[in-house]
């Protein structure tokens, strides 16, 4: 079980990580080693065993929908890299054809 | 050393209540200690000197006015830098959050402030709590007060080092795969991973949400229990918080007793890779428990050997999803120019360190269509089998015991670029996280090879956290009687150099 440098580059794109060539060269063999190790879970006989996503067994925790104080716009924007007209200013999302 | 910094939280609390010392004097003594040693230990990323003194003076005036005060009033607490705190930065050890000042307070730090605890600063950690040495911090590693060339463990290594170096009597950490217990063990102090859901995650920057558990560090079992009790309890702001009474941990810590207790030794946690000196101290601790009246048996938990691989699928999968929020749009670093997508990718490449990138890619891989069933899905089934192993074991015994981590503190740099070697530090602690159980690390002596501390891990079923303290307090009392002093009195890292 291994992973190629191209696969790592693809996963990095999916993860929105602009990795350098040096980083890809370094990470790909390390990830191959890690994936070989974690693949041990496939040895376990687990047919019919239900999966556990979390341990508390809690489902659908509800509360009353009551108005309560929340962050002011200034507080919510206090850490923003760029602000305009009391809004988060972000780079262009849609590109004109 | 100033006597005030060597006192336990319980002793400080009593001295302040008796009017022998003020909270301002206690805080000043700890700030002085930080100023004197933290250039060597590097436990803190931020010291809130002025705010801490203001909190302490407020406690003093309340006390003078005769207001009722809890046991932590005026006691300094160091806070792992992933709890959001008003008035202090929160970086999670990451360049992507450098300088970020969160607009809201975590439930746990809010509770501690309300209890009069003095939040003295924010401690160093492996970036986003991923690591076992603090070497993955974006701001440099912390150093072990026993030997400054060794790691303090991680990810909550700054908190453990701060307590071991007498910079604070108490500290907050979080445990996802062992991030409280392993640093506690290698720094020779007490650390607890409470039952999952027993301590609120609201305002705790998320790594792996189904595992992340905030918990306490102290130099004594009682001190850890005092912080455990103060920080715990149901929180409507955390939907995974358990709506049940906090187990009576302080009461248990005051009455260490193992007479008649059934204790299981996990047979899977020994053999290759375990340092002989760590195993020798562990074996002696088990013999000690037996001599104190416990009934000791060996217990096999056959799926525990798959806990580490299952964890390194589940935790990175959750992390790859949780860390998607760091996109350079609403807070934190923004790097580069171009489209939103290009800025995101450049921001994340510039802001995250190597281990975070490894885990995001690993998690993305494990969750990919085509690999999901073989990796993430299978790991979730293994998680069920590990819970069943615990259930079977706790049908026969009251608690399980093992070493906390296979070795003592390793040299800085030794495993820094060897992820698999680093991951092995959490071999014995991970099953408890996967099952959502509670476990404690309590010092059990020094390994012969290197004179560095080893820890005894005690594991209990969910919501039986008090059992941990009952056992740990008995071990602590018996060992300190044997040694004639607390183990930490032998730490020479800050005096020898």
Question: In chain B, which residues have their Cβ closer than 8 Å to the Cβ of A69?
Answer: none
Q: Considering CB atoms only, which of A15, A90, A95 is closest to B329?
A: A90
Whether B496 has a pLDDT exceeding 70, the answer reads no
Q: Which of residues 1-40 of A touch B (CB under 8 A)?
A: 3, 7-8, 11-20, 23, 26-27, 30-31, 33-35, 37-40
Of B106, B142, B159, B179, which is the active-site residue?
Answer: B179
Please give, rounded to a whole number of angstroms, the shortest distance from the CA of B481 to a CA of chain A.
39
Please give, rounded to a whole number of angstroms, the shortest distance from the CA of A40 to a CA of chain B.
7
Residue A55 within a domain: no
* Confidence grade of residue B222 (pLDDT, cut at 50, 70, 90): very high
Which residue of B305, B309, B345, B384 to mutate against A (max A Cβ within 10 Å)?
B309
* Confidence grade of residue A1 (pLDDT, cut at 50, 70, 90): low
Under 8 Å CB-to-CB from B55, ≥6 apart: which residues?
B27, B113, B116, B118, B119
> pLDDT value at position B317?
98
H helices of B367-464, where?
378-396, 419-423, 430-435
> pLDDT value at position B205?
98
Cβ proximity of A11 and B361 under 8 Å:
yes
Residue range B412-435, pLDDT digits in tens = 999 998 999 999 999 999 999 999
Cβ proximity of B311 and B433 under 8 Å:
yes
Query: Which residues span the domain enclosing A39?
Result: 5-43
Annotation says B106 is catalytic: no
Annotation says B179 is catalytic: yes
Residue A51 within a domain: no
Residue A29 within a domain: yes
* Confidence grade of residue A58 (pLDDT, cut at 50, 70, 90): confident
d(CA B4, CA B26) in angstroms, rounded, equals 6
Q: Which of residues 87-116 of B touch A (CB under 8 A)?
A: 100-104
Q: B385–A82: do the CB atoms touch at under 8 Å? A: no
d(CA B210, CA B191) in angstroms, rounded, equals 20
Total of domains in chain A: 1
Please give, rounded to a whole number of angstroms, the shortest distance from the CA of B374 to a CA of chain A.
7
> Which run of H or of E encompasses B93?
none
Under 8 Å CB-to-CB from B228, ≥6 apart: which residues?
B192, B194, B199, B215, B216, B249, B250, B465, B469
Residue A35 within a domain: yes
> pLDDT value at position A94?
80
Residue A76 within a domain: no
> pLDDT value at position B375?
95
* Confidence grade of residue B115 (pLDDT, cut at 50, 70, 90): very high
Comparing alpha-carbon positions, the chain A residue that sits nearest to B319 is A15
Q: B377–A63: do the CB atoms touch at under 8 Å? A: no
Residue range B391-415, pLDDT digits in tens = 999 999 999 999 999 999 999 999 9
Residue A49 within a domain: no
In terms of Cβ atoms closer than 10 Å to its own Cβ (0-12, 13-18, 19+), residue B260 is: exposed
Instruction: Specify the higher pLDDT residue, B96 or A64.
Output: B96
Q: A44–B382: do the CB atoms touch at under 8 Å? A: yes
Residue range B304-319, pLDDT digits in tens = 999 999 999 999 999 9
Q: What is the CATH number of the domain that holds A39?
A: 1.10.20
Annotation says B80 is catalytic: yes
Residue A60 within a domain: no
Q: Which CATH number fits domain B7-303+383-490: 3.40.630.30, 3.40.33.10, 3.90.1300.10, 3.40.50.10860?
A: 3.90.1300.10
Residue A83 within a domain: no
Residue range B50-102, pLDDT digits in tens = 999 999 999 999 999 999 999 999 999 999 999 999 999 999 999 999 999 99
Three-state DSSP at B9 gives helix
* Confidence grade of residue A97 (pLDDT, cut at 50, 70, 90): low
């Amino acid at each position: 079980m291994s992973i190629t440098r191209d696969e790592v580059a693809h996963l990095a794109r999916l993860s929105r990580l602009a990795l350098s060539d040096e980083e890809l060269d370094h990470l790909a063999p390390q990830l191959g080693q890690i994936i070989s190790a974690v693949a041990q879970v496939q040895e376990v006989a687990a047919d019919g065993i239900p999966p556990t996503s979390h341990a508390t067994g809690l489902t659908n925790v509800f509360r009353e929908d009551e108005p309560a104080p929340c962050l002011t716009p200034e507080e919510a924007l206090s850490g923003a890299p760029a602000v305009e007209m009391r809004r988060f200013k972000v780079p262009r999302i849609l590109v004109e054809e | 050393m100033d006597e005030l910094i060597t006192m336990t939280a319980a002793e400080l609390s009593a001295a302040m209540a008796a009017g022998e010392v003020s909270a301002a004097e206690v805080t000043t003594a700890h700030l002085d200690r930080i100023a004197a040693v933290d250039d060597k230990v590097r436990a803190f990323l931020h010291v809130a000197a002025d705010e801490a003194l203001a909190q302490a003076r407020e406690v003093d005036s309340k006390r003078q006015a005769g207001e009722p005060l809890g046991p932590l009033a005026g006691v300094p607490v160091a806070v792992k830098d992933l709890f959001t705190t008003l008035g202090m930065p929160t970086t999670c050890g990451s360049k992507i959050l450098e300088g970020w000042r969160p607009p809201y307070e975590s439930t746990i730090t809010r509770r501690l402030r309300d209890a009069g605890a003095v939040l003295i600063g924010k401690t160093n950690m492996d970036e986003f709590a991923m690591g076992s040495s603090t070497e993955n911090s974006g701001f440099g590693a912390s150093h072990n007060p026993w030997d400054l060339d060794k790691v303090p463990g991680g990810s909550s290594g700054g908190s453990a080092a701060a307590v071991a170096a007498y910079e604070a009597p108490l500290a907050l950490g979080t445990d996802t795969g062992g991030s409280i217990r392993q640093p506690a063990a290698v720094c020779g102090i007490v650390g607890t991973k409470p039952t999952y859901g027993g301590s609120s995650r609201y305002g705790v920057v998320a790594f792996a949400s189904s595992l992340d558990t905030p918990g306490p560090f102290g130099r004594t079992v009682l001190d850890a229990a005092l912080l455990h009790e103060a920080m715990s309890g149901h929180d409507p702001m955390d939907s995974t918080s358990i709506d049940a009474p906090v187990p009576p941990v302080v009461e248990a810590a005051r009455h260490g007793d193992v007479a008649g207790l059934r204790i299981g030794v996990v047979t899977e946690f020994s053999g290759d890779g375990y340092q002989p000196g760590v195993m020798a101290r562990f074996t002696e601790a088990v013999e000690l428990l037996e001599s104190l009246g416990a009934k000791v048996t060996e217990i096999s938990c056959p799926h525990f050997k798959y806990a580490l691989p299952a964890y390194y699928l589940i935790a990175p999968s959750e992390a790859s999803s949780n860390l998607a929020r760091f996109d350079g749009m609403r807070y934190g670093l923004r790097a580069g120019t171009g489209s939103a997508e290009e800025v995101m990718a450049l921001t994340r490449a510039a802001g995250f360190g190597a281990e975070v990138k490894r885990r995001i890619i690993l998690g993305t891989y494990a969750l990919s269509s085509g690999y999901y069933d073989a990796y993430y899905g299978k790991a979730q089934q293994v998680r069920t089998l590990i819970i069943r192993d615990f259930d079977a074991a706790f049908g026969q015994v009251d608690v399980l015991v093992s070493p906390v981590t296979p070795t003592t503190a390793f040299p800085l740099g030794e495993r820094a670029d060897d992820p698999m070697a680093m991951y092995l530090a959490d071999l014995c602690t991970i099953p408890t996280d996967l099952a959502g159980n509670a476990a404690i690390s309590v010092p059990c002596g020094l390994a012969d090879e290197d004179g560095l501390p080893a820890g005894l891990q005690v594991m209990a079923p969910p919501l039986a956290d008090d059992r941990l303290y009952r056992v740990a307090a008995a071990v602590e009392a018996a060992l300190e009687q044997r040694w004639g002093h607390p183990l930490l009195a032998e730490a020479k890292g800050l005096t020898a150099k």
